[in-house]
Chains A and B, each alone.
Chain A
Amino acid sequence: MPNHANYPHGLFLPLIGLSLCLAFISCGGNSRPGNDSELIIGARADDYVNEPLKSRLGMYPLNTQICESLVRITAGYEIEPLLATRWELRGNTWRFFLRPGVVFSNGQPLTSEAVKYTFERMVKGDAAGVFQHTYIGEGSVQVIDDLTVDITPGRENMRLLEQLGHSNYSVIAPGTEPAVEPICTGPFKLAEYRRSQSIAVERNESYWGRLPSLKRLTFRFLPDDATRVLALEAGEVGMILDVPREQAAQLRERANITVVEAPVGRVATILLNIHGQAPYDLLANKDVRQALAMAIDRRALIEKVWDGNGEPIATIGPGAMLGDYGPLVRGVQHDPQQAAQLLARAGWVIGSDGVRVQNGRRLSLALIAWTEFDKATLEFIQAQLATIGVEIRIIRSPDTASYQARVEAGEFDLDLEGPNQNDANPIFLPALRFYSKSSGKTVRYFALGSQFDEIIEAGLSANERAEVMRRSAEAQHQLVDVETSVIPLAGLKRIYAMSDAIRDFDPHPSILNQRWDVVSIQR
Chain B
Amino acid sequence: MRRYVLARIFSIIPLWLGISVLAFVLSNFAPGDPATAIANRLFDAPPSEEQLAAIRHEFHLDESIPVRYVRWLSSAAQGDLGISFRTKQPVLKELATHFPATLQIACLALIIALIIALPLGVLSAVRHRSWLDHTMRFGALIGASLPSYWLGYLLILLFAVGLGWLPVAGRESSSGAILPSVTLSIGMAATLTRLMRSSLLEVLGEDFIRTARAKGLAERVVICRHALTGALIPVLTMTGISFGHLLGGAVIIEAIFAWQGIGFLLVNAIYDRDYPMIQGFVLFMGLIFTLISLSVDLLYLWLDPRIRFAKERHTCL
Contacts and interface: CB of A to CB of B under 8 A. Distances in A.
A317 to B, nearest CB: 14
Contacts of A234: 156, 160-161, 164, 167-168
A59 to B, nearest CB: 11
Interface string B12-28: 00000000000000000
Interface residues of A, number: 72
Contacts of A400: 32, 37, 40, 271
Main secondary structure of the interface of A (DSSP, over half): loop
Among A3, A9, A22, residue most surrounded by chain B Cβ atoms (within 10 Å): A22
A439 interface: yes
Given A54-B42, A402-B30, A224 B54 contact: no
Contact of B58 (A6, A60, A127, A129): A127
Interface in B153-193: 153, 156-157, 159-161, 164-176, 178-179, 182
Contact of B48 (A30, A168, A439): A439
A16 B159 contact: no
B289 to A, nearest CB: 24
Interface stretch (A140-148, A215-223, A341-349, A492-500): A215-223
Contacts of A3: 219
A205 interface: no
Contact of A401 (B156, B175, B271): B271
A18 B115 contact: yes
Contacts, number: 209
A226 interface: yes
* Majority secondary structure, B binding face: helix
Interface residues of B, number: 77
Contacts of B255: 223-224
B238 interface: no
B296 interface: no
B45 interface: yes
A108 interface: no
B220 A30 contact: no
Interface string B254-285: 01111010001000101111000000000000
A133 B44 CA distance: 10
B49 A441 contact: yes
Given A224-B256, A227-B258, A12 B173 contact: no
15 contacts: A18-B115, A22-B178, A22-B182, A31-B170, A60-B44, A126-B54, A129-B51, A130-B42, A222-B169, A224-B256, A227-B168, A236-B167, A236-B168, A404-B37, A422-B44
Interface of A: 2-4, 6-9, 11-13, 15-16, 18-19, 22-24, 26-31, 45, 47, 49-51, 54, 60-61, 126-130, 132-133, 166, 168, 195-198, 220-224, 226-227, 230-231, 233-236, 399-402, 404-406, 408, 420, 422, 432, 439-442
Given A226-B256, A400-B37, 9 more contacts: A2-B204, A23-B182, A26-B174, A30-B160, A49-B41, A223-B258, A230-B156, A404-B36, A432-B45
